[in-house]
Amino acid sequence: MAVIDDTVTEHVVPHHAEEPSGFYRWLTSTDHKVIGKNYLYTSLAFFFIAGLMAVLIRTQLFSPNNHFVSPQTYNELFTIHGSMMLYLFAGPFAFGGVANYIIPLQIGAPDMAFPRLNSLSYWLFLTGGITMLLGFLTASGAAAFGWVAYAPLSEATNSPGAGPDLWIVSVALVGFSGIFTAVNLVTTIMYLRAPGLTMFRMPIFTWNMLVTGILILISFPVLTAALILLYADRHFGTHIFTVAGGGVPVLWQNLFWFFGHPEVYILALPYFGMVTEVIPVFSRKPVFGYKGLVFATLAIAGLSTGVWAHHMFTTGTVLLPFFSALSLLIAVPTGIKIYTWVATMWKGSLDFKTPLTFSIGFIVAFTMGGITGVMLAAPPIDFYTHDTYFVVAHFHQVLFGSAVLAGFAGLYYWYPKLTGRMYREGLGKLHFWLIFIGFNVTFLPQYVVGLRGMPRRIAEYAASDGFTFLNRVSTVGAYITAIGFLVFIWNMWISWRRPIPAGDNPWDGHTLEWGTSSPPPSHNFHSLPPIRSQRPVWDANHPEHADYLRPPEPSRFSSRRDEAVVDR
Amino acid sequence: MKTEFRVYTGIGIFILVMLLVYFFWSGDGGNSILLFATVGLGLLPGAYLGWWSRRMEPRPEDREVVEPGGVADQLGAFPTHSIWPFVLGVGVFLTALAFVFGIWTAVVGLSFCFSAALWGTLSSRRGGLI
Amino acid sequence: MRTIDVASRSFSVVRVVRVVRVGSALVLGGLVLGACNLPGFGADRGATTQGHSTFHLFQFFAILSIPVLLSVFVPLVYAILRFKRRGDEIPKQTHSHIPIEIVYTVVPIIIIVVLFVFTVRVENKVTAVSAHPNLRVDVTAYQWGWKFYYPSLGITEYTEGNHYPDLVLPENETTTVRLVSSDVVHGFYIPAFDFSRYALPGVTNYFDFTPNQVGSFIGRCSQLCGLYHSEMLFHVSVDTPAGFNAWASSHSSNSKGA
């Protein structure tokens, strides 16, 4: 990369004489890069543990009336699988790991706004995760009521013991960690941007993380409150979610999904953002329809707060047309995003490196999952398929598509930035094809088996049900996926042991994180390139194609008064 | 600041409209309260940002054009390391475990929490880093 | 016949196979279309009038999703094949194209509106509860079984160990089900009827079935309810009104638990 000498600003970085090293550094660092990496490693570890549980679950379902694990163990396995994947992997990987590392770099900030709070977030996340796993060591076993913990099944009479309490405490700890990270992200994005980096010049990933942060602040406190109520029911003799004392069990579902549906978008938006970073860089084009994407993201934020009860269509207690309409509507901004990605690739110069391959895999998976999501937004179809494998297939296509396919697109994309080294391209492709094939072989048959009436979360099915063949295919797919992740681990191992230097900007990246060294120095930037468009590093490296050369389009959102001040 | 203000206010107003439609259509008070609180989460920060954006010069990061060398760095200082978040984290963890294993873990956990709060505050006041 | 003639002239076995396959697929497709019998996409056709409407709605969604899927996948595949990086040139830097953006915003909105209209229609039909049903059944879900009580007949059926209870319904008559739960949340799910509803403690749910074909179906619990969730099965038997009456009279005398 060309040396950027056209410097506008220089950050006056505080002098820091001694920085600890080794274990003590890992323990005490408040550097967002160290914390971000800790988050990445930890959430990946949880991902592998939860993935292993998925393999056990699929093994149990390989044959009818299988007794590989007992029904109690089976219930514990899918509960902790779901809880870990959602609370400990998909969320923290995105907003604790990737965003934590990348956002300050993308906006030209020296660190997160509250570095010590950031560190506390990580420790709460780690201890929360350990708390969840402790459940397996208790006499009564881990929580076994599904990741949604519907009351009254999660009440003391139906789920006694320490395991469910550990689950509650764990989710509360991780919830606080998420709230702290969200506060940090929103503040950082609003107050620590580099000069000239207006809101409408922020990379889409940063935009999506801002909106994710706002959604976390809307939804996580509701979950924490609901967990406290549940704990009170279990131990303090209240009857909030039990009929016996005049409580309302369905209140739990309302509170949970008031958190739970924004949560689904909290898990999706960061990954949309990662893909939106990857595709333009590997197409050598700017992102298509930037403002449309921003408004789509904001629309998703607004709509996702009003669709929680589409998880409760079959309760018979909700206003069906209202939630159906909003749930259908949310397909529009999501569709805009998908078309935007395709349009960004259109007439580009596509370099099929691993990140782009993963992103395309994500588009394919997510489009299919999105379409079945539209089906589920129609209450009659939901009556038919609710709590069947159709839903399981739907949300795995969406969530595996986002958190794994798009998440690993992001991980491979920023791997050189994180380490200064290059991963092995061939192994990356092999990883992609194994998990992409494995993933589709796992989940496409589940749509069919769901339509044939296989409910989710059943530990056993009968040979006469006609589910056997499709479940076998599904299990084989899960094994293929698992092998794919062994390839990933091997890739990381070999790239670590025999490093290939990557240089500072191996992809010809567009945004500010590629304008510093890889890995970045303490406090990130020695100097910043001038920021005159959405792609400052591209502008600096390709001055003849720079974005600021194009005629300015009339904009409602760049305030005229702001410009006037600068002119004077 | 203006765009930040619009983002928050926009989300707040959107949810307000949704709340009104939902409340008058369903008559469901409980969930409407949740939505009402969410409207507050949009409008309160929105009002704060809007109030300030009208009373201050655009910040450097709000300007489309920044004159070379014309911006003084005012980002402040950032700490590089501190043991106290870790101590506080362990303290909160042990305190939370009291809800499962009994009050004894909270005795240890709370002492961690208090010492972290005390020393953490003192170390920043001593002009360490912030 | 003609397809084979064409193929034999080309002397290519692969091509013969391909042409025959395409030809037979076209013929089969024509037959299916001729019978006005659109594919079900793996869904159950619904053995009640309500369920059958749901099936049609599903079919409608599935058919409409094909062009939507294609509108993403065709350009995507074309882009993958056509726009591979060849040299070091920098492609045209297109930032936006307002007409295209309007199209891919407005067209989905129109599709959504259409889907919503059909959804509401079917939804009203499926959730309608008759004021004068021919029969009423009180269903109680509990850990881990079902109790079916016919108030007008005094018949009770319930789970006993490995005996799964039988929900007997008359064909072409409307039965209202009153659904409650006595402990945790259960899901009353009959896949062949394309329908499920939660049995919620503290909430009483009503819904109608009008079965339109005689047969025996399986019923399940769809919502996780604890250890033996997968064992919470029941049978559904739809009989002709005459057969139903025969069953009723033979059971009301020696009904279990009544």
Q: What is the pLDDT of residue A15?
A: 45
Is residue A341 within 8 Å of residue A363, measured between CB atoms? yes
Q: Which of C73, C108, C201 sits opposite A331 (nearest CB)?
A: C108
Q: Which of A285, A325, A363 sits opposite C91 (nearest CB)?
A: A285
Q: Are B68 and A30 in contact (CB < 8 Å)?
A: no
C214: nearest Cα among C48, C19, C68: C48
Q: What is the pLDDT of residue B67?
A: 66
Q: Are A298 and B11 in contact (CB < 8 Å)?
A: yes
- Residue B103 touches partner A, C-beta closer than 8 Å: no
Q: What is the pLDDT of residue B40?
A: 93
A14 part of a folded domain:
no
Q: Is the peptide bond before A152 cis (omega within 30 degrees of 0)?
A: yes
Which DSSP symbol is given to A311? G
Q: Are A384 and C227 in contact (CB < 8 Å)?
A: no
pLDDT above 50: residue A47: yes
CATH number at residue A510: 1.20.210.10
- List pLDDT tens digits, range A343-373: 999 999 999 999 999 999 999 999 999 999 9
Q: Are B7 and A200 in contact (CB < 8 Å)?
A: no
Q: Span A154-176, mean pLDDT?
A: 93
Residue range of the domain that includes A198: 27-567
- Rounded to a whole number of angstroms, the distance from the CA of C3 to the nearest CA of chain A is 34
Which of A1-15, A44-58, A514-528, A554-568 ranks highest by mean pLDDT? A44-58
| Domain count of the fold of chain A | 1
Q: What is the pLDDT of residue C26?
A: 52
Q: Span B39-61, mean pLDDT?
A: 90
Chains that touch C (3 or more CB pairs under 8 A): A
Backbone angles phi, psi at A401, to 5 degrees: -55, -50
A383: nearest Cα among B7, C189, C72, C236: C189
If you average pLDDT over every residue of chain A, what do you get?
90
**pLDDT bracket for residue B76 (50, 70, 90):** low
Q: Which of A153, A383, A545 sits opposite C225 (nearest CB)?
A: A153
10 Å CB burial of residue B77 (0-12, 13-18, 19+) is middle
Alpha-carbon distance A14 to A2, whole Å?
Answer: 27
A12 part of a folded domain:
no
A5 part of a folded domain:
no
Alpha-carbon distance A69 to A83, whole Å?
Answer: 19
Alpha-carbon distance B67 to A8, whole Å?
Answer: 8
In a mutational test of the B interface, the residue from A33, A123, A193 whose CB has the highest number of chain B CBs within 10 Å is A123
In a mutational test of the A interface, the residue from C48, C92, C230, C235 whose CB has the highest number of chain A CBs within 10 Å is C230
- Rounded to a whole number of angstroms, the distance from the CA of B38 to the nearest CA of chain A is 6
A463 part of a folded domain:
yes
A3 part of a folded domain:
no
Q: Span A323-346, mean pLDDT?
A: 94
Q: Residue A251: which H helix or E strand, with range?
A: helix A249-283
Q: Which of A27, A255, A566 sits opposite B64 (nearest CB)?
A: A566
Chains that touch B (3 or more CB pairs under 8 A): A
Q: Are C101 and A289 in contact (CB < 8 Å)?
A: yes
Where in C22-181 does DSSP place strands (E)? 135-142, 145-150, 155-158, 166-170, 175-181
If you average pLDDT over every residue of chain C, what do you get?
84
A526: nearest Cα among A7, A11, A8: A11
Q: What is the pLDDT of residue C4?
A: 40
- Rounded to a whole number of angstroms, the distance from the CA of A375 to the nearest CA of chain C is 6
Residues 312-331 of A with CB under 8 A from B: 319, 322, 326
pLDDT above 60: residue C2: no
Task: For chain C, list the domains and their CATH numbers.
Answer: 1-37 (no CATH), 40-82+91-128 (1.10.287), 135-253 (2.60.40.420)
Q: What is the pLDDT of residue A550?
A: 77
A6 part of a folded domain:
no
SS (H, E, C) A35-102: HHHHHHHHHHHHHHHHHHHHHHHHHHCCCCCCCCCCHHHHHHHHHHHHHHHHHHHHHHHHHHHHHHHH
Q: Span B78-94, mean pLDDT?
A: 90
A30 contact partners, CB below 8 Å, separation of at least 6: A111, A115, A116, A118, A119, B78, B79, B80, B81, B82, B85
Q: What is the pLDDT of residue C8?
A: 40
Q: What is the pLDDT of residue C33?
A: 46
Q: Are C105 and A332 in contact (CB < 8 Å)?
A: yes
- List pLDDT tens digits, range A197-221: 999 999 999 999 999 999 999 999 9
Is residue B38 within 8 Å of residue B11, measured between CB atoms? no
**pLDDT bracket for residue A551 (50, 70, 90):** low
- Cα A108-A33-A89 angle, rounded to 5 deg: 115
pLDDT above 60: residue B28: yes
Q: Span B97-110, mean pLDDT?
A: 92
pLDDT above 50: residue A8: no
Strand order in the sheet with C175-181: C155-158, C145-150, C135-142, C175-181, C205-209
Q: Residue C239: which H helix or E strand, with range?
A: strand C234-239
Q: Residue A167: which H helix or E strand, with range?
A: helix A162-191
Burial annotation A508-543 (CB, 10 A radius, 16+ → b, else e): bbbbbbbbbebbbeebbbeebbbbbbbbbbbbbbbe
A214 part of a folded domain:
yes
pLDDT above 70: residue A532: yes
Which residue matches tokens 């094909």? C66
Structure-model confidence comparison of residues C215 and C18, the more confident one: C215
Tell me which chain C residue has its CA closest to the CA of residue A390.
C43
**Touch criterion met for B and C (3+ Cβ pairs within 8 Å):** no
Q: Which of A153, A335, A455 sits opposite C184 (nearest CB)?
A: A153
- Rounded to a whole number of angstroms, the distance from the CA of A505 to the nearest CA of chain C is 16
**pLDDT bracket for residue B59 (50, 70, 90):** confident
Q: Are A16 and B63 in contact (CB < 8 Å)?
A: no
Percentage of chain C exceeding pLDDT 90: 66
Q: What is the pLDDT of residue C27?
A: 47
Q: Are A195 and B66 in contact (CB < 8 Å)?
A: yes
Where in C78-194 does DSSP place strands (E)? 135-142, 145-150, 155-158, 166-170, 175-181, 186-190
Where in A266-309 does DSSP place strands (E)? none
A508 part of a folded domain:
yes
Q: Are B61 and A12 in contact (CB < 8 Å)?
A: no
How far is C-alpha A69 from the chain's CA centre?
30
Q: What is the pLDDT of residue C108?
A: 94
Structure-model confidence comparison of residues B80 and A268, the more confident one: A268
- Cα A32-A35-A39 angle, rounded to 5 deg: 130
**pLDDT bracket for residue C67 (50, 70, 90):** very high
In angstroms and rounded to an integer, the radius of gyration of the C-alpha atoms of chain B is 23
- List pLDDT tens digits, range C20-40: 555 555 544 444 443 347 888
Q: Dig out the tokens for A51 from the structure.
A: 């993935």
Q: Are B80 and A563 in contact (CB < 8 Å)?
A: no
3-state secondary structure of A234: helix
Is residue B42 within 8 Å of residue B11, measured between CB atoms? yes
Residues 366-385 of A with CB under 8 A from C: 367-368, 371, 374-375, 377-381, 383-384
Tell me which chain B residue has its CA closest to the CA of residue A235.
B99
- Residue B40 touches partner A, C-beta closer than 8 Å: no
Q: What is the pLDDT of residue A135?
A: 92
Alpha-carbon distance C154 to A485, whole Å?
Answer: 59
